[in-house]
Amino acid sequence: MSPNKLSIFSASMAVLMVLANPALSLATEKVFSDQNLVIRNLAQAGIQLNAKDVVPEIVDLGIQPTVLKITPARLQKLSYKEDQYILQITIGRITADQFSKLKALYGGYSQVPYDQNRSYDLIDFLPPAIQAVVNKTFTAEYYDTSRLIELEWDEKDPDAMDLWALQKSGISFFTNCWGTTMEVLKSLRTPRPESTFTLSWPARWTADDIFKAPEHSSKVKTRSVRIWDVLTISESNMLQHTAIILGKNLVFEKTDTTDNDAYRLSVRADVHGKYKTLFEGKAKTEYRRFGSRKDPIPTDTPAELSENVKKILLNVNPELPVDNVTVGCEVRFGGGCDVVFTEIGYLKLKIDSKTGRGYLTGDQKYMKRFTEL
């Protein structure tokens, strides 16, 4: 049996002994009365990975972190095994010198202070934008606009094209990998105590242009990749996924767009493995470097729907977010542009005065969509 599985095996045997022994005390029986809870807690304990394999940069600083691969029940609903976990990387107590070196390794963006009595997690050294969302999921929403088909409008009406596209696509609200990557990159460029964190799905054609445009980033050879570079995966010359490099073998990503897709730390090889399977080896990997010498990433902004279109939409569904809708292109089956409409939301990214970690605050209709794993 591998050492990585030993602790879980031992804990499992202890549970079985408790459940099989009728002479156990009442207190012990009470602790283990819910077998499902025991099993769930064992799963949450995770499997320990070799820190040198996952975060060699930290080990090289003379720090021995504990790296656990945790598999929350919700993530087991996802289709790809590579998406079904989160990483917990515990640093523990460290010296002031080790703290300074770790902070420098990750760019000095974190506002978490040093305390010799504090047990640190790797998250404490990452930028506030990552701290605010990591190990959470985001609940998506779809607003049905199909009733627009019941209405009659003149094809020569300047609003006809928007109305036709809206009744066909509806309005969606979700976040994804490249939208998350953009928000983190923007926060690195202009770090400040309070900033805006945008919740949106920048349309695929737009995102593809942004991540490949030389004015925003430059291509980096694999052997030259460093922390805060971006891993991009494309298929048929169109962007499919992005993740932020946090080391030789570690990335930060949002795995996809569903309610069970996590903002997480993950092993870089798993990202490659998933998309190699998904696209049958045809995916193209590229690394990009963004920075102060390049043009900033543009902020996603609402589309300018006419007042007439807004009025018609609200008559169909008063809950539609008519003032916060973006429009863009998704790849149509067979090629071309499918016009899509998505909601865009804004929250504030702030720093907790006690812990120094970043957190999001703002409109509860957006905040309630985040769920801790």
Per-residue H/E/C for 161-229: HHHHHHHHHCEEECCCHHHHHHHHHHHHHCCCCCEEEEECCCCHHHHHHHHHCCCCEEEECHHHCCCCC
pTM of the model: 0.86
When pLDDT is cut at 50, 70 and 90, the band that residue 330 belongs to is very high
- pLDDT at residue 31 tops 90: no
Q: Contact at 8 Å (CB) between 67 and 50?
A: yes
- As a whole number of angstroms, the distance between CA 150 and CA 168 comes to 12
What is the average pLDDT score of the chain?
Answer: 88
Burial of 79-110, coded b for 16+ CB within 10 Å and e otherwise, reads eeebbbbbbbbebeebeeebbebbbebbeebb
Read off the tokens for 118.
Answer: 């504090």
CA 326 to chain centre: 20
User: Which of the two residues, 14 and 147, has the higher pLDDT score?
Assistant: 147
- As a whole number of angstroms, the distance between CA 142 and CA 261 comes to 17
| 129-138 pLDDT, tens digit each | 999 999 999 9
- As a whole number of angstroms, the distance between CA 287 and CA 284 comes to 10
- pLDDT at residue 155 tops 50: yes
Amino acid letter at 372? E
When pLDDT is cut at 50, 70 and 90, the band that residue 18 belongs to is very low
The average pLDDT across 257-271 equals: 98
Look at residue 44 in the predicted model and tell me its pLDDT: 57
- As a whole number of angstroms, the distance between CA 132 and CA 125 comes to 12
Biggest CA–CA distance in the chain, Å, is 84
Q: Contact at 8 Å (CB) between 320 and 312?
A: no
The average pLDDT across 118-142 equals: 98
The average pLDDT across 147-169 equals: 84
178 Cβ contact list (under 8 Å, min separation 6): 202, 207, 211, 239, 241, 242
Look at residue 15 in the predicted model and tell me its pLDDT: 36
Look at residue 335 in the predicted model and tell me its pLDDT: 81
- As a whole number of angstroms, the distance between CA 137 and CA 369 comes to 8
Look at residue 45 in the predicted model and tell me its pLDDT: 63
Angle at 45 between CA 42 and CA 51, to 5 degrees: 145
Look at residue 37 in the predicted model and tell me its pLDDT: 43
- pLDDT at residue 5 tops 70: no
Look at residue 336 in the predicted model and tell me its pLDDT: 87
Look at residue 36 in the predicted model and tell me its pLDDT: 40
- pLDDT at residue 12 tops 60: no
SS3 43: helix
Domain boundaries, the chain: 1-45, 46-139+175-299+345-372, 141-174+302-343
- pLDDT at residue 298 tops 60: yes
Read off the tokens for 22.
Answer: 């009728």
Percent of the chain scoring above 90 in pLDDT: 76
- pLDDT at residue 16 tops 60: no
Q: What is the DSSP letter of 107?
A: T
- As a whole number of angstroms, the distance between CA 288 and CA 299 comes to 19
When pLDDT is cut at 50, 70 and 90, the band that residue 144 belongs to is very high
The average pLDDT across 200-217 equals: 96
| 60-111 pLDDT, tens digit each | 999 999 999 999 999 999 999 999 999 999 999 999 999 999 999 999 999 9
Look at residue 150 in the predicted model and tell me its pLDDT: 80
The average pLDDT across 176-183 equals: 98
User: Which of the two residues, 189 and 181, has the higher pLDDT score?
Assistant: 181
